[in-house]
């Protein structure tokens, strides 16, 4: 005769140790605040599936993203510096991991769904072209007459359609809340086309707190790692950064606290303090906003103004850093030279495939001429930096072997 308690913690007489009780899916999220996205209340998947047995719906989404082909490609896609420029610069993959790390810290402190923020963070850049923003701008230009190209929408296309991993459906069949978080921006035209997912852009409503966190964590991550990579590459100097309050405050504090350190170590100490300041400010300010608006559910979060935010003072300092990076790093002549080459590769590939679609791998050829440009865009967007360069060489370079 077993009572209720011995069901919860079963005893294995052979091993002589207590087996770990299996938590219910509700128990895995019992700590969440009422305004969090609870996976049991998800608006569901495009193709209905049985509930997972050992994890929550959002954990399953996160796992599918990590196992996707597009996720592995992020390793060889440019953030700012092209992969071959150095082994220590951020790639889209390490960027996405840093975003997830920051977003999870914030989520845990606010008692919202860490698994959902992780899924959104890891997927947010899946649709990026090779060569960072230069690649996306060039592809958008090529696609101007055919509906344009936008990396947020492309990330959604990857998880909704392009991945071929499962027998029952195309794409990863992720939950509505994960897809909503991936779609950070969207034009009104595209929003109309997207049905339920596009509604918030037409109605001026917010996404979940988890989506809002992933969005701000993205900015915190790239502002800081671009400073770090900019200094590492020599395109930025510590002297230039002295005009930026957010940098200088923490640089001076680091020197004061550790007068013996210098070089890379001093830079790392400064950057980690900046990240910490931004994260703590984000948690504190968001907590105040939540207290003020007291959203009792995810639906109330959608109807409220954006709740995840920095304080005015820190927001102004972060914006100044962002402007500095734009002017001094993203527009640096050496970055512009690389961007120019990237542009030539993307436009060259697009034009060659458009002129003669028979040059495309068969999967990307279409008998429908109206569909052909989008398939070309999918093919190019899926390329890593080095694959794009190789493909360009295969099409345009005649060598002697």
Shortest spacing between CB 381 and Mg ion, in angstroms: 15
Please, which residue, 96 or 254, has the CB nearer to Mg ion? 96
* DSSP code of residue 91: B
Shortest spacing between CB 221 and Mg ion, in angstroms: 7
DSSP H helical segments within 12-91, as ranges? 25-28, 57-66, 69-73
Planar angle of CA 68, 144, 222, nearest 5 degrees: 50
Binding to Mg ion (CB under 5 A) within 335-364 occurs at none
Please, which residue, 122 or 346, has the CB nearer to Mg ion? 122
Write out the DSSP string of 305-336.
PP-----HHHHHHHHHHHHHHIIIIIT-HHHH
Shortest spacing between CB 35 and Mg ion, in angstroms: 25
Please, which residue, 64 or 124, has the CB nearer to Mg ion? 124
Please, which residue, 55 or 184, has the CB nearer to Mg ion? 184
Shortest spacing between CB 124 and Mg ion, in angstroms: 5
Please, which residue, 56 or 121, has the CB nearer to Mg ion? 121
Distance (Å, whole) CA 112 – CA 35: 7
CA distances in angstroms from 298 to 18, 112, 115, listed in the order given: 38, 10, 16
N-terminal to C-terminal alpha carbon distance within the chain: 79
In this structure, is the dihedral angle defined by the CA atoms of residues 232, 236, 242 and 243, taken in order, positive or negative? negative
Shortest spacing between CB 331 and Mg ion, in angstroms: 19
Q: Which of 222, 209, 213, 219 is nearest to 106 (CA)?
A: 213
* DSSP code of residue 105: H
Q: Which stretch binds Mg ion (CB under 5 A): 18-26, 44-52, 210-218, 294-302?
A: 210-218
- Examine residue 218 and tell whether it contacts Mg ion (CB under 5 A): yes
Count the residues of the shown chain that bind Mg ion, applying the rule CB under 5 A. Answer: 2
Please, which residue, 114 or 125, has the CB nearer to Mg ion? 125
Shortest spacing between CB 80 and Mg ion, in angstroms: 11
Binding to Mg ion (CB under 5 A) within 107-146 occurs at 125
Please, which residue, 57 or 125, has the CB nearer to Mg ion? 125
- Torsional class of 152: left (φ above 0), alpha (ψ -120 to 50), beta (otherwise): alpha
| 262 CA to centre of own chain | 32
Q: Which stretch binds Mg ion (CB under 5 A): 156-164, 212-220, 282-290, 346-354?
A: 212-220
Shortest spacing between CB 121 and Mg ion, in angstroms: 9
CB of 184 closer than 8 Å to CB of 152: yes
Please, which residue, 29 or 218, has the CB nearer to Mg ion? 218
Shortest spacing between CB 218 and Mg ion, in angstroms: 4
The residue number whose beta carbon is nearest to Mg ion equals 218
Distance (Å, whole) CA 354 – CA 360: 9
Q: Which stretch binds Mg ion (CB under 5 A): 146-154, 176-184, 214-222, 223-231?
A: 214-222
Distance (Å, whole) CA 207 – CA 205: 7
Instruction: Return residues touching Mg ion (CB under 5 A).
Output: 125, 218
């Amino acid at each position: 005769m077993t009572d209720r308690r011995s069901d919860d913690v079963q005893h294995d007489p052979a091993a002589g140790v207590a087996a770990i009780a299996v938590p219910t899916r509700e128990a895995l999220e019992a700590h969440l605040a009422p305004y969090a996205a609870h996976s049991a209340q998800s608006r569901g998947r495009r193709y209905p599936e049985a509930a997972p047995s050992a994890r929550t719906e959002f954990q399953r989404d996160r796992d599918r993203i990590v196992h996707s082909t597009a996720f592995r490609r992020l390793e060889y896609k440019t953030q700012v510096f092209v992969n071959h420029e150095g082994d220590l610069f951020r790639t889209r993959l390490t960027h996405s991991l840093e975003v997830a790390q920051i977003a999870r810290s914030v989520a845990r402190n606010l008692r919202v769904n860490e698994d959902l923020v992780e899924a959104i963070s890891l997927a947010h850049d899946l649709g990026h072209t090779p060569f960072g923003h230069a690649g996306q701008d060039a592809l958008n230009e090529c696609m101007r007459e055919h509906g344009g190209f936008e990396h947020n929408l492309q990330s959604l296309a990857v998880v909704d359609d392009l991945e071929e991993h499962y027998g029952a459906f195309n794409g990863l069949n992720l939950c509505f809340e994960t897809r909503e978080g991936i779609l950070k921006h969207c034009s009104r035209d595209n929003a109309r086309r997207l049905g339920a997912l596009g509604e918030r852009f037409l109605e001026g409503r917010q996404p979940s707190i988890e989506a809002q966190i992933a969005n701000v964590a993205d900015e915190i991550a790239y502002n800081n790692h671009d400073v770090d990579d900019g200094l590492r590459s020599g395109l930025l100097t510590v002297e230039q950064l002295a005009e930026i309050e957010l940098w200088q405050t923490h640089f001076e504090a680091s020197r004061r606290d550790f007068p013996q350190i210098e070089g890379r170590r001093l830079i790392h100490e400064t950057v980690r303090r900046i990240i910490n300041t931004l994260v703590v400010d984000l948690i504190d300010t968001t907590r105040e906003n939540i207290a003020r608006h007291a959203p009792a559910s995810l639906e109330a979060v959608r109807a409220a103004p954006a709740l995840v935010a920095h304080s005015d003072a820190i927001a102004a300092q972060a914006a100044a850093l962002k402007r500095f990076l734009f002017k001094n790093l993203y527009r640096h002549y050496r970055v512009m030279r690389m961007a120019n080459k990237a542009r030539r590769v993307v436009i060259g590939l697009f034009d060659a495939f458009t002129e003669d679609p028979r040059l495309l791998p068969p999967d990307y050829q279409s008998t429908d001429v109206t569909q052909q440009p989008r398939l070309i865009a999918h093919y190019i967007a899926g390329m890593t930096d080095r694959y794009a360069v190789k493909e360009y060489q295969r099409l345009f370079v005649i060598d002697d072997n």
